[in-house]
Amino acid sequence: MLSSCKKYLDVVPDNVATLESSFANANETQAYLFGCYNALQNLSDVRRNAGFTTSGEIIFPFPLQDQNVLGPGGDGGFQILRGTQNSANPILNYWDGYNMGLDLWQPIRRCNTLIENIDLPKDLPLYNKARWIAEAKFLKAYYHYWLLRMYGPIPIMDKNNPVNATTEEVRVKQQPVDSCFSYIVGLLDEAAKDLPPVIQNTALEEGRITSTIALAVKAEVLATQASPLFNGNPDYVAMKRQDGTSLFPAAYDAGKWQKALDATKAAIDAANSSNASLYDLKLTGSITHLGDSIRQLLTLQGAVVDSWNQEQIWTLNPQFGWQYMASPRVTADAAANVFAVYSNFSVPIAESELFYTDNGVPINEDKTWDYAGRYTLQNGDQQHFYYIRLNYPTAKGNFHREARYYADVSFDGANWFGSGNTDDRNMNYVNAVNGFASPPDQLRYNATGYWAKKLVHYQSTAGASSVWQGYSWPFLRLPALWLLYAECLNEVNGPTAEAYSWIDKVRARAGLQGVVDSWNNYSRTPGKPSTKAGLRSIIHQERRIELAFEGQAGWDLRRWKELQNVLTGPVQGWNVFNRTVNGYYQVVNVFQPIFGLRNYFYPIQDYDILTNPNLTQTLYW
């Protein structure tokens, strides 16, 4: 009687799904692995990427009539520059997963769970088992790396604690940054040896991690460790754990650059052996007429927007979803449907001025370029026929610029190949003063008058029913590795021919002469490439230009500790709501960015420090 009563309450059949069921067979286990990848794919959303939103490359207007056009809180990362960051409820909170951040500790736990349970499925072939473990290790490493870049010292969660772990066990401590770097590099090494160098079955597996990716990431990790932000940064020496352990190394260690150099070399070798090379333009669809000038621009841009090309070492599957934010309205159709194009991604004048002159040197160094008169007006001429609308008045600074400027940035008077018009003899163009591209309202406008054209595919067409030619978001391109290698070479050996050669490979594609020649011939400081500091500055600028709008600059500027300088002045743009030419071409301050020393690292949410008193708040927060 009693036992039958007890049975009455045993309503659970034996075979309900539990955690173990996720590893019942190889198929379930692969699904679990995909779950581990989930956060990585989400990182490709530029709104979540501090390297994209908080870099000074693109700003987002405020206030708008509807601030939620990027989704609720979607513009949070951009607005950090307006001083909204705080420790009570941090923006881009990657510790807890709030405010456009992701909780990265969950995927880390997932990776650990996968590694712990990988022996459960009986039907999992050994080669897959090794590969999947390696992928999980890579992901674990990358998530730690992402956190490390944002927060500096972080706890290392290499093993899962049981759910009922004691208070002491779960109150983990931050590890010194060098331990974190070593841990990540160790994992990447372990992962690289079991990963395939290239994806064979691209239809099913493109986007999964290869050993080439792992080695390239390792190079980037080691370069980050060697960079000033982490390598003997005097500003952060004071950051200590509760038990007194120093979390940042006190002294600069040049040896770290050597390690980065070796790793970058290994990565380049791996890329070469997996047939990585610079992008060749592949045209799809019908082209009415295409000359060399526009072909060059499309090639430069296509390296980013033509997915899975041979130059992209690492691409994430999710597609860039914000072309309508980056594009100007260039056709009557696009203007007629105001909902087609928003144009809110605004490029500050300072970012546009980063691009070289057509002589391959910075605009303020070029002897032949009228730097002082760059805000005066000039009509489009025959020489710039392909870049600037003929006889259209625009800022003088838009003339005589390198090809990457015209490939990456659009402005009032710039021609626009594509958007339904593929005849480079009579292209659409941007009229931001009183034409299609001028603001229709207080919501769909570009706050500076510069558009990130690089992010908009030429086949994308806005109109009554827009078609946006999608592309998967690249995380790492071959030129980035080359420039990183040049950077390491310069840091280890100073200016050398070898260092120049890697930069020049990138410049050559942009149609520019080599560093030494360009500076010799056109720069007011011709000796700049011959000093270590001079070459460093050249490499940094080259890298910012080459990787513009790709979500890299924010991270680079941080590790170089240069972001604060970039953001000292006000963000400027044209007087975009004025509909006369002279009124429009007034430089106005959009806002004054707020970026202090403390903004190099992100605050940990105060509440997390309450729940884990062993944690130390990021310095200055």
Partner 1 sequence: MYEILAFHICKPPGCIKKFFLVMRMTVFLLFFALMQVSAEGYSQSITYRGKNITLKQVFNEINKQTGYNVFWSSGIIANAPRMDVNFENTPLREVLETCLQRAHLTYSIEEKSIIIQADTQAPAPVEDALPPGTITITGTVRDTTGAVMAGVSIVIAGSKDEGTVTDNNGKFVLDVKEGAVIVASFVGYEQQRFTVVAGRAVYNVVMPRDVKLGDEIVVTAYGQKQRKEAIVGSVSSINPEQLRTPTSNLTNALAGQVAGMISFQRGGQPGLDNSQFFIRGVTTFGYSPSPLILVDNIELSTNDLARLNVDDIASFSILKDASAAALYGARGANGVILVTTKGGKSGKARINLRYERSISKPTKTVELADPVTYMKLYNEAVATRSAVGIPQFTPNQIQGAEATWTKSPGYNPYLYPAVDWMSTLFKKQTTTQRANLGLSGGTEFAQYYISGSYDRDNGIMQVNPVNNFNSGMKFENYQLRANVNMKVTKTTEAIVRLWGNFNDYTGPITSDQSGFATDLYDQALHSNPVAFPAFFAPDSANMGTKHILFGNNIHLTGGLMSNPYASLMYGYKSFSESRMSAQFEVNQDLRFITRGLNFHGLFSTNRYAYFDLVRNYSPFYYSINPSDAAINKYSLIWLNDQPGAAQEYLSYDPSRNNKNVNTYIYFMGTVDYSHSFGDHNIAATLVGTREQTQTANASTLQLSLPHRNLGLAGRLTYNYKSRYYVEGNFGYNGSERFAPNHRFGFFPTIGGGWIVSNEKLWQNSNISNIVTRLKLRGSYGLVGNDNIDRVENNRFFYLSSVTPHAGPGAYFGTRNNFTMNGPSIQNYPNPDATWETSHKSNLAVEFTLYKNFNVIAEYYWEFRKNIFQPRGYIPVTEGLESTVKANLGTAYAKGLDLHMDYKQTFTKDIWISGLGNLTITSSRYGHVEEPQYKYAYRFQSGRPINQQFGYIAERLFVDDKEALNSPAPAFGGPLPQGGDIKYRDVNKDGIINQDDQVPIGLPTTPEIIYGFGISAGFKGFDINAFFQGLARESFFMNPTSQDDRWNGYYGTTPFVNNAQILKAYANNHWSEENQNLYALWPRLATYDIPNNQQQSSWWLRDGSFMRLKSLEIGYTLPKRLIRKAYMSNLRIYFNGLNLITWSHFSLWDPEMAGQGFGYPVQKVFNIGINANF
Among the residue ranges 39-47, 184-192, 211-219, 255-263, the one whose residues contact partner 1 (CB under 8 A): 39-47
Which tokens go with 96?
């807890």
User: Residue 114 CB, nearest distance to partner 1 (Å)?
Assistant: 9
Give the closest residue to 427 by CA, choosing from 406, 447, 451, 448.
406
The pattern of x and - marking residues 347 through 366 that bind partner 1 according to CB under 8 A reads --------------------
CA 562, 563, 568, 570: dihedral to nearest 10 degrees?
140
Orientation angle between helical segments 497-509 and 515-522, nearest 10 degrees: 80
Positions in 418-437 near partner 1 (CB under 8 A)? none
Task: Choose, by CB under 8 A, the member of 25, 71, 161, 467 that binds partner 1.
Answer: 161
The amino acid that residue 65 corresponds to is Q
Among the residue ranges 23-31, 117-125, 374-382, 555-563, the one whose residues contact partner 1 (CB under 8 A): 23-31
Cα angle 29, 33, 35; round to 5: 115
CB-based contact 417:298 (threshold 8 Å):
yes
User: Residue 467 CB, nearest distance to partner 1 (Å)?
Assistant: 17
Contact between 12 and partner 1 per CB under 8 A: yes
Closer CB to partner 1, 318 or 514, in the complex: 318
User: Residue 31 CB, nearest distance to partner 1 (Å)?
Assistant: 4
Contact between 9 and partner 1 per CB under 8 A: yes
Binders of partner 1: how many residues, by CB under 8 A? 89
Closer CB to partner 1, 37 or 458, in the complex: 37
Largest CA-CA distance found in the chain, in angstroms, rounded = 101
- Own/partner pairs, 14-23, CB within 8 angstroms, 24+ separation: 19/113, 20/117, 20/120, 22/117, 23/117, 23/118, 23/120, 23/121
Contact between 36 and partner 1 per CB under 8 A: yes
Contact between 203 and partner 1 per CB under 8 A: yes
Task: Choose, by CB under 8 A, the member of 25, 202, 242, 586 that binds partner 1.
Answer: 202
Among the residue ranges 21-29, 270-278, 379-387, 491-499, the one whose residues contact partner 1 (CB under 8 A): 21-29
The pattern of x and - marking residues 440 through 469 that bind partner 1 according to CB under 8 A reads -xxx--------------------------
CB-based contact 342:580 (threshold 8 Å):
no
Contact between 126 and partner 1 per CB under 8 A: no
Q: Which residue has the tokens 């006190």?
A: 250
User: Residue 166 CB, nearest distance to partner 1 (Å)?
Assistant: 9
Which tokens go with 344?
């809110």
Helices (H) and strands (E) counted in the chain, each on its own, are: 24, 10
Contact between 243 and partner 1 per CB under 8 A: no
Task: Choose, by CB under 8 A, the member of 186, 207, 228, 435 that binds partner 1.
Answer: 207
Closer CB to partner 1, 19 or 251, in the complex: 19
Task: Choose, by CB under 8 A, the member of 31, 254, 332, 508 that binds partner 1.
Answer: 31
Beta-sheet pairing, 377-379 with 450-451 = unpaired
CB within 8 Å of 5: residues ≥ 6 apart: none
- DSSP labels, 167-213: HHHHS--PPPHHHHHHHHHHHHHHHHHHS-SS-S-HHHHTTS--HHH
Contact between 14 and partner 1 per CB under 8 A: no
Closer CB to partner 1, 338 or 377, in the complex: 338
Positions in 44-63 near partner 1 (CB under 8 A)? 62-63
Task: Choose, by CB under 8 A, the member of 26, 172, 283, 377 that binds partner 1.
Answer: 172
Positions in 270-329 near partner 1 (CB under 8 A)? 307-308, 317-319
User: Residue 295 CB, nearest distance to partner 1 (Å)?
Assistant: 24
Closer CB to partner 1, 69 or 278, in the complex: 69
CA distance 458 to 464: 18
Q: Cis omega (within 30 of 0) on the bond before 63?
A: yes
Among the residue ranges 198-206, 242-250, 354-362, 395-403, the one whose residues contact partner 1 (CB under 8 A): 198-206
Among the residue ranges 19-27, 278-286, 525-533, 562-570, the one whose residues contact partner 1 (CB under 8 A): 19-27
User: Residue 462 CB, nearest distance to partner 1 (Å)?
Assistant: 13
Closer CB to partner 1, 307 or 523, in the complex: 307
CA distance 345 to 447: 8
In the 3-class helix/strand/coil scheme, how is 59-92 assigned residue by residue?
Answer: ECCCCCCCCCCCCCCCCHHHHHHHCCCCCCCCCC
Contact between 19 and partner 1 per CB under 8 A: yes
User: Residue 173 CB, nearest distance to partner 1 (Å)?
Assistant: 10
The pattern of x and - marking residues 573 through 602 that bind partner 1 according to CB under 8 A reads ----x-------------------------
Looking at the DSSP bridge assignments, the partners of residue 289 are: 423
The pattern of x and - marking residues 78 through 117 that bind partner 1 according to CB under 8 A reads -----xx-xxxx-x---xx--x---x-xxxxxx-x-----
Contact between 497 and partner 1 per CB under 8 A: no
CA 150, 450, 76, 551: dihedral to nearest 10 degrees?
-30
Task: Choose, by CB under 8 A, the member of 16, 126, 251, 372 that binds partner 1.
Answer: 16
User: Residue 407 CB, nearest distance to partner 1 (Å)?
Assistant: 24
Task: Choose, by CB under 8 A, the member of 415, 472, 599, 618 that binds partner 1.
Answer: 472
CA distance 387 to 27: 53
In the 3-class helix/strand/coil scheme, how is 364-402 assigned residue by residue?
Answer: CCECCCCCCCCCCEEECCHHHCCCECCCCEEEHHHCCEC
CB-based contact 499:257 (threshold 8 Å):
no
